[in-house]
Amino acid sequence: MDLRLMVDSLPQLLLGMLATLELVALSGALGVVLAVPVALARVSPRAWVRAAPLGYIFFLRGTPLLVQIFLVYYGLGQFETVRESVLWPVLREAYWCAIIAFTLNTSAYTAEILRGAIQAVPPGEVEAARALGMSHALTLRRVVLPRAVRMALPAYGNEVILMVKGSALASTITLLDLTGMARTIIAKTYKPLEIFLAAGLLYLLITLVITRLIRRAETHLSTTANPRPKGRP
Amino acid sequence: MDTPALEALDIHKSFLGHEVLRGVSVRARDGEVIAILGSSGSGKSTFLRCVNFLEVPESGTVRVGGEEVRVRRKRNGYAFDQKQINRLRARVGFVFQSFNLWPHRSVLDNIVEAPVHVRRIPRPEAVARAESLLEKVGMADRRDLYPNQLSGGQQQRAAIARALAMDPDVILFDEPTSALDPELVGEVLGVIRRLAEEGRTMLIVTHEMGFAREVSDRTVFLHQGRVEEEGESSEVFAGPASDRMRRFLSGHLT
């Protein structure tokens, strides 16, 4: 074990970790924005609106993330119209291809988590809103979504962790995320054990922090004020 | 002749082919308290829910303060003006058997929600009104608690304050004490009694016969989706005209 090498490569690995965090944060945020309308369509009273997102979710959950990344990164460039479009400067960047693939992928999972939570909101609470004269949209905004988000939070934390680990696939399209950086260092040093171990520890650190953050958000958004006094387990 | 505060005329409703309401009509004058009685399955809760369109009646007319809500039957559902129904609901308070407070909002925020977002009253004004309502239902010291931290009786009193906050013309009570422990029933009935004394127009579906007799001006007794008996409460309770009502009362008053 070359501990010295692990410490020496830390600055570079931290740079990679930063890239990983950026990928996850950006595509996570975009994914949530995309997931809300998809989830709302899934619970629509109209059958054809409900059916619309089914194919979207089926495809994105049913194919490997790696395949989706390759489809965006290698696939899109085959179309002349794409190459000639104004979006090409963006679409030829590996970074944006990764963001697009991750965003689409996580939006499908998040939409399903959110759909389940929306359906779990007690109907009586919705009726109470309607009985006070609240419109459908207002009820959604003030009662259904706030309640659903609270119920979805634990499952969503899981999705974020899966996303952190899935983001390692960005290294397959030349991105220097944490895994990509580790592979670059290994190519120069031929010390896979030390470097991957260090990278793995950094992934653990990210997961640990995210778990904590989600738990704190759950407590903060809990439906009882201060359910746990400070300083007790 | 003054317009009744609320009219629900010839209301029909069926679920899966089973006729729950077969033409029920109730008129409430301004300030009148009407008790709606009946054994379970008589359609009294369904009737109340039809009045503010939580269930859409198959046919019938609902008028609030003279404004008529029109519902047309379509091939695969109903056509109605959702805006008009929302407007009607804002004028008709509804108190549920199971309270249905929003657990993610404090008591105060539950009460302030609709006045601020439906009526668009400035929040400080709505809060001031909510506080006086909480005072009235004896919950002033609970304003910042969450529904989960309250007893059933307290939750129902908060729910009544939430309905009152919209300053409704009529309040509908759907078995407001049926989900409560016996020792908590009194505090909720006390609040409703005070509202009756204030001259509020109310329709109350209840199983509390003593309370219905004492508080209501008129009583409507439903049986199998029809009005079986109707009249001044003092007379109906003293000497019911129909056999069914007599049997129902003797079953409940003992």
What's the pTM?
A: 0.88
B43: DSSP letter: S
Average pLDDT score over residue span B214-236: 94
A219 CB neighbour count, 10 Å cutoff? 11
Does A130 sit within 8 Å of B100, measured CB to CB?
Answer: no
End-to-end, the C-alpha distance of chain A in Å comes to: 38
Total residues belonging to chain A: 233
Does B87 sit within 8 Å of A135, measured CB to CB?
Answer: no
Its ipTM equals: 0.92
Burial (CB < 10 A; 0-12, 13-18, 19+), residue A120, is: exposed
pLDDT digits (tens, 9 = 90+) for B129-170: 999 999 999 999 999 999 999 999 999 999 999 999 999 999
* Calpha distance B32→B9 (Å, rounded): 17
Instruction: Identify the band that residue B1 occupies on the pLDDT scale cut at 50, 70 and 90.
Output: low
Q: Look at residue A46 in the predicted model and tell me its pLDDT.
A: 87
Task: Give kind and range of the element (H or E) at residue B186.
Answer: helix B182-197
pLDDT at B192 over 90: yes
Does B162 sit within 8 Å of A132, measured CB to CB?
Answer: yes
Does B166 sit within 8 Å of A132, measured CB to CB?
Answer: yes
Q: Nearest C-alpha of chain A: how many angstroms from B93?
A: 7
Does B100 sit within 8 Å of A124, measured CB to CB?
Answer: yes
Instruction: Put the strands of the sheet holding B6-15 in their side by side order.
Output: B18-28, B6-15, B59-64, B67-69
pLDDT at B223 over 90: yes
* Calpha distance B156→A96 (Å, rounded): 53
A20 CB neighbour count, 10 Å cutoff? 27
Cβ B48 vs Cβ B36: under 8 Å: yes
Of B103, B114, B146, the CB nearest to A132: B114
* Calpha distance A57→A64 (Å, rounded): 13
Q: Where are the domains of chain A?
A: 3-224
A25 CB neighbour count, 10 Å cutoff? 12
Name the residue in chain B with its Cα closest to that of A138. Answer: B117
Q: Does domain A3-224 have CATH number 1.10.275.10?
A: no
The answer to whether residue B3 neighbours chain A at the CB level (below 8 Å) is no
Relative to beta strand B6-15, strand B18-28 is antiparallel
Would you call B86 helix, strand, or coil by DSSP? helix
With beta carbons under 8 A apart, name residues in chain A contacting B94: 128, 131-132
Burial (CB < 10 A; 0-12, 13-18, 19+), residue B250, is: exposed
Does A130 sit within 8 Å of B118, measured CB to CB?
Answer: no
Would you call B214 helix, strand, or coil by DSSP? helix
Residue ranges in chain A whose pLDDT is less than 50 = 226-233
Interface of B with A in 112-151 (CB under 8 A): 113-114, 117-118, 144-149
With beta carbons under 8 A apart, name residues in chain A contacting B113: 132, 142
Of B94, B101, B117, the CB nearest to A131: B94
Interface of B with A in 147-206 (CB under 8 A): 147-149, 159, 162-163, 166
Q: Nearest C-alpha of chain B: how many angstroms from A201?
A: 38
- Which has the higher per-residue pLDDT, B251 or B223? B223
Average pLDDT value for chain B: 92
Does A225 sit within 8 Å of B106, measured CB to CB?
Answer: yes
The answer to whether residue A122 neighbours chain B at the CB level (below 8 Å) is yes
B35: DSSP letter: E
Cβ B177 vs Cβ B208: under 8 Å: yes
**Angstrom distances, CA of residue B155 to CA of A223, B159, B178, B216:** 14, 6, 13, 24
pLDDT digits (tens, 9 = 90+) for B226-243: 999 999 999 999 989 999
Taking alpha carbons only, the member of B96, B157, B32 closest to residue A132 is B96
Cβ B136 vs Cβ B217: under 8 Å: no
Q: Look at residue B75 in the predicted model and tell me its pLDDT.
A: 67
Does B98 sit within 8 Å of A124, measured CB to CB?
Answer: yes
Does A130 sit within 8 Å of B89, measured CB to CB?
Answer: yes
Cβ A85 vs Cβ A185: under 8 Å: no
Q: Look at residue B16 in the predicted model and tell me its pLDDT.
A: 87
What percent of chain B clears pLDDT 70, i.e. is strictly above it?
Answer: 97
Name the residue in chain A with its Cα closest to that of B96. Answer: A128
Q: Look at residue A90 in the predicted model and tell me its pLDDT.
A: 84
Q: Which amino acid is at A225?
A: A
Annotate A71-103 with b (16+ C-beta within 10 A) or e (fewer): ebbeebeeeeeeeeeeeeeebeebbebbbbbbb
pLDDT digits (tens, 9 = 90+) for A182-214: 999 999 999 999 999 999 999 999 999 999 999
* Calpha distance B236→A136 (Å, rounded): 42
- Which has the higher per-residue pLDDT, B102 or B16? B102
* Calpha distance A172→A112 (Å, rounded): 28
Name the residue in chain B with its Cα closest to that of A129. Answer: B114
With beta carbons under 8 A apart, name residues in chain B contacting A150: 104
Average pLDDT score over residue span B78-104: 91
Q: Nearest C-alpha of chain A: how many angstroms from B233?
A: 28
